[in-house]
Amino acid sequence: MFILHRYGFFGSECHTRVTQLSYDEVVSQQAIDLITLIGENDMNNSTMLITGGTGSWGEELIRQLLLMEPKEIRVFSRNESLQAKLRQALGDARLQFIIGDIRDRSELLSAFAGVDYAFHLAALKHVPICEEQPDSALKTNVIGTQNVIDAAIECGVKKVIYVSTDKASNPSNIYGMTKALGERLVLHADSKSATRFACLRSGNVLGSAGSVVPLFLRQIEMNQHLSVTDPRMTRYFLTLEDAVQKLLSAMEISRGGEIFVTKMPSCKITDIAQVMIEHSGNTHLKQQVIGIRPGERLHETLISEWESSCVLDYSEDHYVILPSGSSGGLAGERLPVDAIGKRSQNYCSENTTISKEETSLLLLKGGFLG
């Protein structure tokens, strides 16, 4: 397996190299690379907080942050059993686990005291559940996000990054609408406080809760046909390790008020299903079309048409949507003015699909064909 390593977190020099690894070596090799290359940075000896820290994003983020020699990482979530499992799995004295709900402002104020950097991951994320219970989605994804903002400002946090979704661009469902409102609240907060706020808008992470990949794995294990909602459907996908590295990169780069958009491939859901069937050897299994669920759409958009006029093609990892009328921040400090507005159309999964062979390589890199 060939791995491209690109590191340059929090002001350190960017390094690029290629190594060939067995799949069992990938995770440990990434840890070694981070320790070797990260150098001194703003995260050293800092206190960090992760809301929703016991999910798949949160666990991987904790593992990578621990390599940065932090003073303390506070894991804030309402899931007691997952906290207990994570505490046992990681066993690091720098981790502090806090049971709490972002709907409760007083719990957040207590958790944020003395925090330097915060990653806001907590959300209700399942599209059908949000469609069925829009009031709960509003309370968590909108009111909860405002509570996080208020606590961060009151406690003097240096920087907060909010993890958003492709469904916030041209939203067609309750989940996307609430996350889009969350983005607007975060950007508004940056304009009126000393705390810096920014967003990272990303697509799906392979293997995360609610992802189609674990569903297909379960169906293959149970010798069931694979459920595909519509054969035309496409989605953005990224491995968990890559997603978290892009999140950390955005935390470093941000000067406040930006929406970072991850550059990532999109796949046909039918290609994912067929690759997994073929790799399993159960070639008698077929794809069963079950119809689109409430709130779903055929394709996702990471950058809408109206946002494309204020987009920076920033790096190999990110596009950056700048605040309206922005003349400072990234535009003033890092990039030429003529880099703005390079995308003349929206960034849609229908137009960026990779081949079936490339989809197989992506699943292999994510550890789902090992």
What is the mean predicted confidence (pLDDT) over 314-341? Answer: 63
pLDDT score of 335 more than 90: no
The token duo for 150 is: 């208020």
Residue 104, pLDDT score = 97
Mean pLDDT of 135-154: 98
Q: Please give the pLDDT value at position 303.
A: 94
pLDDT at 187 over 50: yes
How many residues comprise the chain?
Answer: 370
- Average pLDDT, integer, range 1-6: 38
Q: Is the per-residue pLDDT at 38 higher than 90?
A: no
Q: Is 51 helix (H, G, I), strand (E, B) or coil?
A: strand
Q: Which of 8-22, 267-281, 314-328, 348-362 has the lowest mean pLDDT?
A: 8-22
> How far is it, in rounded angstroms, from Cα 78 to Cα 101?
6
The answer to whether the CB of 247 falls within 8 A of the CB of 160 is no
The ranges assigned to domains in the chain are: 1-38, 42-365
Answer yes or no: 167 catalytic: yes
Point out the catalytic residue in the list 167, 179, 246, 365.
167
Per the CB < 8 A criterion, the answer to whether 68 and 9 are in contact is yes
Confidence category of residue 22, pLDDT binned at 50, 70, 90: very low
Q: Is 363 exposed, middle or buried (0-12, 13-18, 19+ CB in 10 A)?
A: buried
Res 41: pLDDT: 56
Q: For domain 42-365, say whether CATH 3.40.50.150 is its number.
A: no
- Mean pLDDT computed over 76-99: 95
Within 8 A by CB and 6+ apart from 268, the residues are 233, 234, 353, 356, 359
How distant, in Å, are the alpha carbons of 123, 149, 163, 369 from that of 142? 9, 11, 13, 37
pLDDT at 325 (0 to 100):
54
Instruction: Answer whether residue 231 shows pLDDT above 50.
Output: yes
Higher-pLDDT residue of 16 and 85 is: 85
Average pLDDT, the chain: 85
Sheet holding 204-205, edge to edge: 204-205, 234-238, 266-268
CA distances 133 to 79, 103, 179, 294, Å, are 20, 16, 15, 12
Q: What is the mean pLDDT of residues 276-305?
A: 93
Location of structure tokens 């240096």: 158
Residue 191 DSSP label: T
The pLDDT, as a whole number, for residue 254 is 93
Across the range 45-54, mean pLDDT stands at: 96
pLDDT at 14: 36
